[in-house]
Amino acid sequence: PKTIISRCLKINFGKANTTDIFSMLKRISKNENINLKDDLLRLIANHSENSFRDGAKILEEVTLQKIESVEETEKFLGIRGRNDLIEIIEKKNLKNTLLWINEFSQNGGDFKNLIEDILNQLHSQLLIKNDVIENENKKITLTLIEISLLMKLLIEAYQNLRNTPIDSLPVEIALIEFYNKVGEKNNKSQIPSSK
């Protein structure tokens, strides 16, 4: 009710910055006798969505999985393999795509982070292909239409992650739908006109 709200003090907390999250992770590591390198803690801080709680949760998951290297953490967070997955998607090979996703899932990969990282990379490519930003990364061979379609499908997959009993399922469905739509488009362009 408004009468109760009027008597309350509203405090808006800003998002945490990665430096503060890194310091918190270092403090937790020291207090809990967790021996992880600073590079690994920085990586966790960068992928904690500016949240102390998310950073602590990722640190706990990494520790429970007995992950000790930056490479293993990148793989766990879905960062390391995203370039491999994008290359497979560019080749439009459904079987290899599903094999990659299955392996990623079996290794305990985080699909939320994977989708976020792929969307960030696709967004950069969208801007590069439209000459909005300079080419800082390798240019991918997908067309603008394919990039926007893939982004749309991955956003839907991201939204469906919280309602799925199988973590990999939204991503698999999104990529199957992507290949079907790209295939339909290619097939339509190859069908001779009856006129």
Residuewise pLDDT in 10s, the chain (195 residues): 788 888 888 777 778 888 999 999 999 999 999 999 998 999 898 888 788 998 999 999 999 989 888 888 887 776 666 667 888 888 888 999 999 999 888 877 788 888 988 898 888 888 888 877 776 556 778 889 999 999 999 999 999 999 999 999 999 999 999 999 987 544 444 334 444
- Burial letters for 137-153: b for 16+ Cβ neighbours within 10 Å, e otherwise? eeebebeeebbebbbeb
> Is this structure's pTM higher than 0.85?
no
Asked if residues 153 and 177 have their Cβ atoms less than 8 Å apart, the reply is: yes
